[in-house]
Amino acid sequence: QILRTLGESSARGPERDVMRDAGLVGREHELATLLEAVEQAPTTGPSVILLHASSGFGKTRLLDELSSRLHAAGSLCLVGRCFERDATPYKALDGLVDALALE
């Protein structure tokens, strides 16, 4: 998005947008399980869902869909990632703080 704003092209951007627009394919059961977990979560405070699977399973796409649906329903859904080699202190929370700043 930044590159497009600056008038530059990005080799990865359009492909990612196409994948996102293609819809969720083959993970309807997993999405239903996540939506059920959200419905059963206590409403008295924040909740956390840990999604773990092998590389290439489609975790990012699944979370994108979950996040979109929760956002459309009026929920605040923060998604963060941390990387093993990242030297940022509290790396698991860094992306969540960034997401809160954008809200």
Residue 11: band (very low, low, confident or very high) from pLDDT cuts 50, 70, 90: very low
What would the pLDDT profile of 42-51 be if each residue is shown by its tens digit?
A: 877 777 778 8
Q: Which of 76, 38, 34, 39 lies closest to 59 in space, CA to CA?
A: 34
What is the CB neighbour count within 10 angstroms for residue 17? 12
For 15-43, write each residue's pLDDT tens digit.
Answer: 545 445 556 778 899 999 999 988 888 87
Please list the alpha-helical segments (H only) found in the chain: 2-5, 13-21, 28-40, 59-72, 91-102
Q: What is the pTM of this model?
A: 0.62
Residues 9 and 103: their CA atoms lie apart, in Å, by: 26
79: nearest Cα among 54, 28, 66: 66
